[in-house]
Amino acid sequence: MRQSHFFVQTLREVPAEAEVPSHRLMLRAGMIRQVVSGVYSYLPLGYRVLRKIEAIVREEMDRAGAQEVLLPAVQPASLWQESGRWDDYGKELLRFEDRHERMLVLGPTHEEVITDLVRTEVRSYRQLPVTLYQIQTKFRDEVRPRFGVMRAREFIMKDAYSFDVDEEGLDRSYRAMYQAYEQIFRRCGLEFRVVQADPGAIGGEGGSHEFMVLSEVGEDTILVCPACDYAANVELASGKVAGEDGRRSVSEKERFLTPGAKTIEELRDRYGLDPETIIKVLVYRVDDRPVAVAIRGNDEVNEVKLKRLLGARRVELADEETVRALTGTGFGSVGPMNLNMPLVVDDAVASMPEGVAGGNEPDVHYRHVVPGRDFNWDSRGDIRTARAGDRCVRCGAPLEEYRGIEVGHVFKLGTKYSEALSASFLDERGVQRPVIMGCYGIGVSRLIAAAVEQHHDDKGIMWPMPIAPFHVHVLPVNLKDAAQRDAAEQLYTRLENAGIEVLLDDRDERPGVKFNDADLMGIPIQLIVGKRISEGLVEMKRRKTGEVTLLSPDEAVRAAVEAVRSV
């Protein structure tokens, strides 16, 4: 491709709206342009990268035995009502009416549509297992789209769905997708971690993993054990923090006054209490019933875990008025004793030898409060948010914390959708049974942003070869010099004939402009044709390392072909 004809305009200015490097660089390099909040056009440079990633995804899906389909973006509301997600999904599900006043949605995901398809097509165990996938445009009406294509409203996703006769089949299908995902992200040149994850709105109880590209700008926090293979999204990560149950204090509980202290910080600063020894009690509305939740003063309630522990659909903090009506006191002195509502305690609280707790009257706390002696609970479990320094639940090593960009997510759905939509098959004995499902997503467009986050410097992008928009950027320094121009043209032609994707900067621009644009666009190999062509030499620069080699044009062609082929 000749750059003079290529539809790409680099920007020198850093766009004000772009907060993260990938968004800035994708805009500056001319890969994408915003059409409306969270909705982008892909320009030729960006689209080439998208197609490369799609091709890798497709190859690995096919290799794993998945079959490609194409489901529609527009879906009938009725399927979402059947699955129950019409009510559960919230405002990210964009709903609208057609001209005949039928309710439709723009698909944020396709469990309903694919389950509907399978229930009409599959009758017998002989047709199973099968895994279907598509690469397709989705829409989620994010309340705050940001970071360019990383959290867009319209985006491209690869979603796959597996259908099996039993759990062992699901395990096999899940493993095949899991391995294909590792292979995809490796081939895209990404450093990633697989972590245990919360199934969220997709649902299913059989297990779930996220594929996280490690990056400072990632919106997810993950906890990783450096000693074993434990890794989990903070939404459900566990960390050991406290001693064993059983060692209990023998001191009697003791009332004391704490005027003016409504927060853990105030109790610490004014009364010298260690937050780790405080039993903090919060009142939640759980599916509209009040529930008290006890955690340590230095911990945070993890609402995802709380929801799972209680099997709840919705949990939210109660307001102070509600708290006062229920406990007789406001925020700051609520405690676990003598409550007239269910109490849920975190494992770390349950195993405290003793603690300081609110007295359920204003400005009153108690010391030497012993869990199990001074108060009991209706439910206990791991409901705190784990953090760096907690001990690994598997091996005890201190956990480390990273930020990650979720680029893939696999779920064991089980029968959540097949039961709701009656997708069943006849087994070998003629018994009707629901199909066992898994689902598997990759944010194809988000992958581009994740790759840029991991592969850039202050000058621009540094594409890994397998997903680079072009392999080689040929840069004649001075087009008016016939020797330079001719040598560049020859390199261009020879490389293209060898099947290499080449961008030839045949623009009549100053060398500085060309070099800056080339570094910004980030094509892996730059072949710079300058004055030393008179000695029969061109410069080959590796964008990633900055390494420059002087080569003859013949050698340069050979080296470039080798660099491309070796990937």
Residues at the interface with a copy of itself (CB under 8 A)? 4-7, 9, 30, 33, 35-37, 39-44, 47-48, 50-51, 65, 67-76, 91, 94, 96-99, 102, 104, 106, 113, 116-117, 120-121, 126-127, 130, 132, 137, 139, 141, 143, 153-154
Q: Which is nearer to a copy of itself, 7 or 272 (CB)?
A: 7
Q: Which is nearer to a copy of itself, 103 or 559 (CB)?
A: 103
Minimum distance from residue 23 beta carbon to a copy of itself (Å): 17
Q: Closest by alpha carbon to 318, among 349, 291, 358?
A: 291
Residue type, 312: A
Q: Closest by alpha carbon to 417, among 394, 440, 435?
A: 435
Q: Which is nearer to a copy of itself, 282 or 479 (CB)?
A: 479
N-terminal to C-terminal alpha carbon distance within the chain:
22
Minimum distance from residue 293 beta carbon to a copy of itself (Å): 30
Kindly give the pairing relationship between strand 192-196 and strand 208-214: antiparallel
Minimum distance from residue 458 beta carbon to a copy of itself (Å): 25
H or E element: which one contains 104? strand 103-106
- The answer to whether 44 and 7 are in contact (CB under 8 A) is yes
Minimum distance from residue 67 beta carbon to a copy of itself (Å): 4
Give me the residues paired with residue 357 across strands: 279, 366
Neighbours of 108 (CB within 10 A): 20
Q: Closest by alpha carbon to 352, among 321, 312, 380, 389?
A: 380
Minimum distance from residue 539 beta carbon to a copy of itself (Å): 27
Q: Which is nearer to a copy of itself, 377 or 492 (CB)?
A: 492
Minimum distance from residue 130 beta carbon to a copy of itself (Å): 5
Q: Which is nearer to a copy of itself, 132 or 212 (CB)?
A: 132
Cis peptide before 129 (omega within 30 of 0): yes
Q: Which is nearer to a copy of itself, 2 or 391 (CB)?
A: 2
- Using alpha carbons only, what angle is made at residue 197 by residues 192 and 202, rounded to the nearest 5 degrees? 115
**Burial category of 362 from C-beta neighbours within 10 Å (exposed 0-12, middle 13-18, buried 19 and up):** middle
Minimum distance from residue 32 beta carbon to a copy of itself (Å): 10
Minimum distance from residue 7 beta carbon to a copy of itself (Å): 5
Cα(264)–Cα(245) distance, integer angstroms? 24
The residue ranges of DSSP E strands in 227-288, in sequence order, are 231-233, 254-257, 278-286
Q: Which is nearer to a copy of itself, 50 or 267 (CB)?
A: 50
Q: Which is nearer to a copy of itself, 51 or 531 (CB)?
A: 51
Residue type, 511: P
